[in-house]
Chain A
Amino acid sequence: MSARERDFTAPTVQLLTPEGELRPTPEAEAYLPLVEALDDTMLERFYRDMAISRRIDIAGANLQRQGQLALWVPSHGQEAAQVGSAHAARPQDHLFPSYREHIVGIIRGLDPVNILALLRGATLGGWNPAENGNFHLYTLVLASQTLHATGYAMGLQFDGATATGDPETDAAVLVYYGDGASSQGDASEALVFASSYQTPQVFFIQNNQWAISVPVSRQSRSPLSLRGGGFGMPGVRIDGNDVLVSYAVTRQSLEEARAGEGPSLIEADTYRMGAHTTADDPTKYRTDDEVEYWARRDPITRYRTWLEGRGASAAFFDDVDREAADVAADLRRRALDLVAPTREVIFKHVYSEPHPLMTEQSAWLEAYESSFEGGSSA
């Protein structure tokens, strides 16, 4: 080895082994009390939400194949990373997703039909974060939201809405992005600003190993968690398929952030079992062996094994399966009922205040459409 440091490794923090045993790695010991503090209801909720996520994934993909959605963005395989981190946030926290965090939105109270409306081409997003658990809109330009989240966290500081010493009211920000997005300049600039202003914020990278068809090795030669240190904040690499560690590490990081201890970064190592979106064909770029390796590390299977070991009943799992099927069926029905927006939507909210081009052009379109025989007014 040369004089230059070439050890770019980081330990993976894990509580639950792929076989479903609670056997913390040395770095995970400190997080165990956070899990021990969870009651059975919460532990069961983790399972339920992961199961719902997977069931919705199937419904979404089917809807796309039937021509009802322009696109579906699957999260099969990433349920533990998403469910654990989402439950780590407190009600007053703000969550800035990328575009794959459907179950995170649902956990925060968002009706997932909003997501289907977006993917069906009926809206550009449209939900009001303030009425949906502070779950902000999907952002399709990679890493843009990392800066919005950082600015929001700066605002929390300026407002004195954080770091007062009361975790029940002090707010923090959780922002999601991926291994591909980590290469965007905005992701680095967000880390610079967050570190500089010591924002109450957690950066949560879901490293699902693939940015569409390009492996994470093209984005980074070292674990993405090491980027935290380069920007002057803690970085932790976790087993992203372990819902318990995802919860515990995010919880700890958010609590530190809201207490005024500054930002931190989590890299959740996980795997996108399906395609990037339904427009993609993963068989062109990855091997069956790799998929099989990750299938053995499935987040739901391992968690179920652990819950069964703790005495969860077969009836519980049956109930969850039924509920997940119901949620997915209901969602499917409501997706099919979504109506196309009327044409005034093109112009209506482009500006907050009156704008002559909007007035002129909407009037023109209205007159044009109405000029045809049988033409309708909006």
Chain B
Amino acid sequence: MTDATQGSAEALETQTAASETTATDASSSDTAAAASAPSSIEPGVPGVQTLSLAKAITAGLREAMRADHKVLLMGEDIGPLGGVFRVTEGLQAEFGDKRVLDTPLAESGIVGTAIGLAMRGYRPVIEIQFDGFIFPAFDQITTQLARITVRHNGTASMPIVIRVPYGGHIGSIEHHQESPEAYFAHTPGLRVVSPSNPHDAYWMIQEAIASNDPVLFFEPKSRYWPKGPVDQAHAGVPLHASRVVREGTDVTVVGHGAMVATLLQAADIAAGEGRSLEVVDLRSLSPIDYGPLLDSVQRTGRLVVAQEAYGNVSIGSEVAATVAERAFYSLEAPVLRVSSFDTPFPPAALETEYLPSPDRVLEAVDRALAY
């Protein structure tokens, strides 16, 4: 990328981020953000705050940095600017430029030096600016970060978190709307998680930072701005647990990240048509906690797996195969997948036709029920 295109791309990114912030900050908490949080959390209860997912991560980062002085942040434009999505806003002012590092613009360099810092006892938290820009670091992540512990026979651990804003629905340009999580879930030695709501985001970022293993932390950027309740006193389920976020009886639908909001919308529509969907939020993509999902499928007998990523060789493929293996006698219909198409993310003008919508989920629900 030349300087000129880099400059204009970043200007556009900032613009996009800023305009989205303005557009959605005005609206109060949306139903999906509130609904996918644990049901016990009610705004107005002491200790429960209403935050956007982005600001919940900011709050979680702040807590982690206060709790452990070895936690430091690294990334591009994360200092005075606070990141293109403003997730690190105010943190350099609070913790200084030795703990919030505006690095050179080189993703492999960021991950590679973070590995050295972790060898020295630090707990680096990296921000990759956009999903599509993680690939220059792919080698350091897969051949180094993921293997340092096993290469050292367990005498070295790699407590590194890589935060990745990901996914579509923001109308942006190429490489800014990708869902690359499966590449990392495929790699032994890494852990991969993705919160769907502000409460989970607040706690999961802190749990990821506390983990002694490397964690890829995928942040659903289309969910950055809607607000929801965050109980800062009670975490709820552990980092790698999946969770039923809406109970139902007819069909189980499962997804992660921004897809959970789509599934909840689909469940609302289905309820109006007299169909009861149970919605499961995977939360963790590596490892995957199959317990709640298998339990749900044993009750409903039907499963639709939905994701923004390409369908071919995806998280959804793995979930479908595993559920087919483990819940074969409970299934009344084949496990069906709803994904984006196996093409590069198209020009944003086409994203609503490209990304799975509530209607596309319901089309699969209909097919599952037709068996």
Q: Which of B98, B117, B136, B152 contacts A151 (CB 8 A)?
A: B117
Given A351-B213, A352-B157, A353-B213 in contact, is the A147-B149 Cβ separation under 8 Å?
no
B106 at the interface (CB under 8 A from A): yes
Whole-angstrom distance between the Cβ of A278 and the nearest chain B Cβ: 22
Q: Which B residues are CB-close (under 8 A) to A128?
A: 152-153, 155-156
B109 at the interface (CB under 8 A from A): yes
C-alpha spacing A149/B119, complex, angstroms: 10
Q: Across the two chains, which residue of chain B brings its CB closest to A196?
A: B104
Whole-angstrom distance between the Cβ of B156 and the nearest chain A Cβ: 8
Q: How large is the interface on B (under 10, 10 to 19, 20 to 34, 35 or more residues)?
A: 35 or more
Q: Which of B106, B113, B152, B287 contacts A125 (CB 8 A)?
A: B152
C-alpha spacing A156/B120, complex, angstroms: 8
Whole-angstrom distance between the Cβ of B271 and the nearest chain A Cβ: 34
Whether the Cβ atoms of B108 and A349 lie closer than 8 Å is: no
B140 at the interface (CB under 8 A from A): yes
Q: Across the two chains, which residue of chain A brings its CB closest to B212?
A: A352
Q: Which of A151, A153, A159, A351 contacts B112 (CB 8 A)?
A: A151
Interface centre among B104, B108, B109 (most CB of A within 10 A): B109
Q: Across the two chains, which residue of chain A brings its CB closest to B107?
A: A189
Q: Which B residues are CB-close (under 8 A) to A129?
A: 119
A315 at the interface (CB under 8 A from B): no
Q: Which of A126, A130, A141, A151 contacts B113 (CB 8 A)?
A: A151
Q: Is the interface of A mostly helix, strand, loop or mixed?
A: helix
Whether the Cβ atoms of B149 and A351 lie closer than 8 Å is: yes
B347 at the interface (CB under 8 A from A): no
Given A141-B143, A155-B122 in contact, is the A185-B108 Cβ separation under 8 Å?
yes
Q: Which B residues are CB-close (under 8 A) to A294?
A: none
Q: Which of A144, A149, A190, A355 contacts B143 (CB 8 A)?
A: A144
B144 at the interface (CB under 8 A from A): yes
Whole-angstrom distance between the Cβ of B39 and the nearest chain A Cβ: 26
Whether the Cβ atoms of B116 and A349 lie closer than 8 Å is: no
A323 at the interface (CB under 8 A from B): no
Instruction: Identify the 4 closest CB pairs spanning chains A and B, nearest first.
Output: A151-B116, A147-B112, A155-B120, A151-B113
12 new A-B pairs (CB below 8 Å) besides A127-B152, A147-B111, A151-B117?
Answer: A139-B144, A144-B112, A144-B143, A151-B118, A153-B116, A154-B116, A154-B117, A155-B121, A186-B112, A189-B109, A349-B154, A352-B212
On B, residues with C-beta under 8 Å from A are 72, 98, 103-104, 106, 108-109, 111-122, 136, 139-140, 143-144, 147, 149-158, 188-189, 191, 211-213, 287, 289
Query: Would you list 26 pairs from A and B whose C-beta atoms are within 8 A, ordered by A residue?
Result: A125-B152, A128-B153, A128-B155, A129-B119, A141-B139, A144-B140, A144-B143, A147-B108, A147-B111, A150-B109, A150-B113, A151-B116, A151-B118, A155-B119, A155-B121, A155-B122, A158-B98, A158-B117, A159-B120, A185-B108, A185-B136, A196-B104, A350-B149, A351-B191, A352-B157, A353-B211
